[in-house]
Amino acid sequence: MTENKTKILSVLLFSAAILLSILSIWILKGNNNESEHISNGGKGVPLTSVAFEESREDLGILVNDTTVWRSFVFKNIGNDSLHVLFIDPDCNCTSYHLSSNSVAIGDSIQVDIEIDMREKNVGKFMLNTVVGLNTERKLYNICIEGEITGSK
């Protein structure tokens, strides 16, 4: 019985180590591209508040030989400038354009997400883009989902 507990504990510790490694790589990946970050990586930047108009969109049924664009707007509702610390799409089929890296109190930022469906498999999909902001809650998720059918 003790041997089984030891094996289970070993598997759990190994899984936790892998998870921490993946998280570290993800954080480092997000912090290496200066064009997507404010210059100091967000350290010492005052916290503010944000409101998303929408952060999830279902595109419905699409053919797999298309490219789609969707825009997401978030507004600075806090008492300090809002800074985008990083943007990290979860798929290399996804790119983005950010209207600005920072926004004044009361103003908004727009993120345009582009998805190239040409290499996607037929069936349902869900793509996520993580946005890091200088707010108390550091990470926000933009989700685009839908279903891909064959070519036209």
Shared domain for 113 and 44, answered yes or no, is yes
Shared domain for 134 and 82, answered yes or no, is yes
Q: Cα angle at 137 between 135 and 142, to 5 degrees?
A: 100
Q: What is the pLDDT of residues 97-127, one digit of tens each?
A: 999 999 999 999 999 999 998 878 899 999 9
- Tell me how far apart the alpha carbons of residues 78 and 104 are, in angstroms, rounded to a whole number: 9
Q: What is the pLDDT of residues 121-139, one digit of tens each?
A: 899 999 999 999 999 999 9
Torsion of CA 18, 19, 21, 24, to 10 degrees: 180
Q: Is 12 helix (H, G, I), strand (E, B) or coil?
A: helix
Shared domain for 84 and 13, answered yes or no, is no
> How many Cα atoms within 13 Å fall on the side-chain side of residue 48?
26
Q: Which domain holds residue 2?
A: 1-32
Q: Which amino acid is at 16?
A: A
Shared domain for 43 and 78, answered yes or no, is yes
Shared domain for 104 and 127, answered yes or no, is yes
Cβ neighbours of 120 (radius 10 Å): 18
Please state the domain count of the chain: 2
Shared domain for 55 and 121, answered yes or no, is yes
Shared domain for 28 and 61, answered yes or no, is no
Q: What is the pLDDT of residues 30-57, one digit of tens each?
A: 433 333 334 445 566 789 999 987 789 9
Shared domain for 19 and 48, answered yes or no, is no
CATH number at residue 91: 2.60.40.10
Shared domain for 27 and 49, answered yes or no, is no
Shared domain for 3 and 51, answered yes or no, is no
Q: Is 94 helix (H, G, I), strand (E, B) or coil?
A: strand
pLDDT band, residue 10 (cuts 50/70/90): low
